[in-house]
Structure 1
Amino acid sequence: MRNPIKDTDYLAISARIKAMETTLLTRERMEQVLEAKTDDEALKLLQESGYPQLRGTDPTALDAALSAAREESFADLSDSAPDPRYIDVFRLKYDYHNIKVLLKAAAVGANPDHMLADMGRVSVQQLKDALAGNETADLPPMLAAAAAEAKEVLDTTRDPQLSDIVLDRWSYRDMLAVAEATGSSFLRGYVQVQIDAANLRALVRTLRMGKNEAFLSGVLFEGGDIPADAILKVSADKGAGLKELYEPTRFREAVECAQESLHGGALTEFERLCDDAVSDYLSGAQFVPFGEAPLVGYLAARETEYTNLRILLTGRGTGLSPDVIRSRLRGCQA
């Protein structure tokens, strides 16, 4: 049996995290990259912050470089984290992503290699072998069950979206189970706020499409802090009660924006505000001197940074104006 881990077991890694947080891109540095007159100037600013050469004009190369940076961060912290399950919460989404890719590629006879991300708990090769031979016994139990159910849904319906929903549901279930197994209320809260964000997005999209609550119930995820039955009631009432349900929560601003989106407005700002609500939850980690919270907060901050870099560099590469790019950037801690 794993010995209980105390906050004090995180003294050493918490000190490292505090030092590593100083290397996160600040809002000021991102603004400098955004306003750089040339791509070379923008790249130089990022290189000064420790990044390799990144170019938004080559999305494949950009994704590969960011994936390498992400994997380096995972590997570095995995060696010193008292409980590797805190890293697993961030890794496991790549397991489910890879299952999605492999199942859909097999269904149409395509080569999936360029879409796979070898950053999960399970190597890409092990997943390939397990699915090709229908031998999933060596996979983590929830991942094995998810792969089997998703394959059955895809084989039966030929609808990859339904298969993806199955895998997304298992992914959140897996994340929540890992969080609960650690005994960390902070990590569990992080997973729950992500589920709440996903369910709010699903509710708003359902209302925009004019679908009913039966449709929504098929895409809601279990385990969030906001009850599913309350979300379904808003759907059944055609959006009435949306503001009241979310007013007391950190999604208040996202819902205010959603009101405009329900009448045909763009979803871009709403999506950003949903992500910012998750970041708002994580901001509490900055005030915890030691324990698992600084580790979780740092890993999530890096994920946000990679997202922002992709938005920023891809936007520059496609000629978007600074104002448009700026409006899409997620909130950051630094």
Structure 2
Amino acid sequence: MANNLYIYAVTRAHVRELSMLTSTTLEQMLAAPDYDAALAILAEKGWETELHEPGAILMAEENKTWDFISEMVEDMSPFNVFLVANDYHNLKAAIKKTITGSEVEPVYLPRGTVPLAQLRHAAETADFSDLPPEMRVAGEAAFDALRTSGDGQLCDIRLDVAALAATYQAGKASGSDILARYGELTVAVADIKTAARCAKLGKPRSFVREALVECETLSADRLALAAGEGPEALYTYLANTDYAEAVPALRKSAAAFECWCDNLMMDSIRSQKTVNSGIGPLAAYLLARECEIKSVRMILSGQLNRLPAAAVRERLREMYV
């Protein structure tokens, strides 16, 4: 896309940022007496609340965001960093359905980079040759693991690791510092989550290492070694990395760590609010909307389940605006 078109697209994105939800709006939704009252606040902000069901409302907002970007950007390939994980999720679902013979249709995610029909055909025929090279290798390995041993966990690991590696490479290939940073953080955060879970379960180093993906800001080998020695060894290693501030959150709870990770990502994109050209501000807008939708999901779920506002509030992320 010519730079002048990026300027136009970025200007439009910055205008839309002005109507995004603020922390004040989220507090109003938390204080609303019931679910319908929370929806009324969203309706005032232009959300399609007539759909009423949370899943439908949130999906409509996701679609609206992607439609907005795609109508302005001719080449959407730089945004594959956000989408390739959906391909691997869908391939995993198709493989499991094929091998288990379940009559229940799995949940497939929209907006991948490979047509869903192509992924399903590969799984149903056990022929992955038409898929991208890295996906073909991972698909064959996952299929064989599940078919020969029935090991669903190994199937998951092989595809999840491949999805992270693909996300990382897509970020590098995007030509955008922001998208490359997204790929880096996505892998690092996933590695830390996996290592922390394995450390608490007492998994051996070899198991942990197989589930990790190398990135610039963490050593997968050292992370696996630390996790194999237990949570405290893991925290000690992390304390000497770029993710030292994650340790208190990890000690508190998995939910606290998830929140810390999302806030870290938000901090990394805020500089794009004052940038007037390039793909970075558009990527930041997509990520900001994703965070906004995630926060709304938590609040609506809390309202439906009558959870205390304080319990929901501690899980909310920092807003972009």
Which amino acid counterpart does residue 7 of structure 2 have in structure 1? L
1:299 aligns with 286
Deviations along 1:169-190, one digit per CA (max 9) or x if unpaired, are 1112212222222222321111
TM-score relative to the length of structure 1: 0.86
1:323 correspondence with 2:310: yes
* Matches for 1:252-267 after TM superposition, within 5 Å: 252-258=244-250, 260-261=251-252, 266-267=253-254
- Match for residue 261 of structure 2 among 271, 274, 279: 274
SS at match of 1:290: coil
Deviations along 1:211-244, one digit per CA (max 9) or x if unpaired, are 2322211211223421223323432553337346
1:131 correspondence with 2:123: yes
Does the 8 Å CA contact 2:83/2:112 hold for their aligned counterparts? yes
1:28 aligns with 24
Does the 8 Å CA contact 2:85/2:166 hold for their aligned counterparts? no
Q: For residues 243 and 159 of structure 1, do their structure 2 counterparts lie closer, same or farther at Cα, with a shift above 3 Å needed?
A: same
Does the 8 Å CA contact 2:85/2:163 hold for their aligned counterparts? yes
Which amino acid counterpart does residue 107 of structure 1 have in structure 2? I
Deviations along 1:247-276, one digit per CA (max 9) or x if unpaired, are 552x33321222x34xxxx42212221222
1:169 aligns with 161
2:180 aligns with 188
Deviations along 1:38-72, one digit per CA (max 9) or x if unpaired, are 2221111111222222788xxxx432432232133
Q: Distance in 1 between matches of 2:294 and 2:302?
A: 12
Does the 8 Å CA contact 1:78/1:87 hold for their aligned counterparts? no
* Matches for 1:191-270 after TM superposition, within 5 Å: 191-238=183-230, 239-240=232-233, 242-243=235-236, 245-246=238-239, 249=242, 251-258=243-250, 260-261=251-252, 266-270=253-257
Q: Distance in 2 between matches of 1:6 and 1:176?
A: 26
Which amino acid counterpart does residue 155 of structure 2 have in structure 1? S
- CA drift of 1:142 comes to 3.1
1:67 correspondence with 2:92: no
Runs of at least 5 residues in structure 2 that lack an aligned partner in the other structure: none
Q: Distance in 2 between matches of 1:80 and 1:39?
A: 35
Q: Distance in 1 between matches of 2:25 and 2:249?
A: 28
- CA drift of 1:31 comes to 1.1
Q: For residues 75 and 157 of structure 1, do their structure 2 counterparts lie closer, same or farther at Cα, with a shift above 3 Å needed?
A: farther
TM-score relative to the length of structure 2: 0.89
Count of aligned pairs: 320
Q: Distance in 1 between matches of 2:107 and 2:23?
A: 30
Does the 8 Å CA contact 1:143/1:170 hold for their aligned counterparts? yes
Which amino acid counterpart does residue 253 of structure 1 have in structure 2? E
Deviations along 1:51-102, one digit per CA (max 9) or x if unpaired, are 222788xxxx432432232133223312322531232222222212211222
Does the 8 Å CA contact 1:176/1:191 hold for their aligned counterparts? yes
- CA drift of 1:149 comes to 2.2
Which amino acid counterpart does residue 37 of structure 2 have in structure 1? E
1:49 aligns with 45
Deviations along 1:297-323, one digit per CA (max 9) or x if unpaired, are 111111112221221111211111100
Q: Distance in 1 between matches of 2:233 and 2:123?
A: 45
SS at match of 2:314: helix
- CA drift of 1:137 comes to 4.2
Q: Distance in 1 between matches of 2:238 and 2:277?
A: 34
Q: Distance in 2 between matches of 1:26 and 1:55?
A: 22
Q: Distance in 2 between matches of 1:226 and 1:309?
A: 32
Percentage of matched positions with identical amino acids: 28
Does the 8 Å CA contact 1:190/1:282 hold for their aligned counterparts? no
Q: For residues 44 and 297 of structure 1, do their structure 2 counterparts lie closer, same or farther at Cα, with a shift above 3 Å needed?
A: same
SS at match of 1:115: coil
- CA drift of 1:293 comes to 1.2
Does the 8 Å CA contact 2:205/2:228 hold for their aligned counterparts? yes
- Match for residue 102 of structure 1 among 83, 94, 97: 94
Q: For residues 68 and 141 of structure 1, do their structure 2 counterparts lie closer, same or farther at Cα, with a shift above 3 Å needed?
A: farther
- CA drift of 1:333 comes to 0.9
Q: Distance in 2 between matches of 1:227 and 1:54?
A: 48
2:132 aligns with 140
Runs of at least 5 residues in structure 1 that lack an aligned partner in the other structure: none
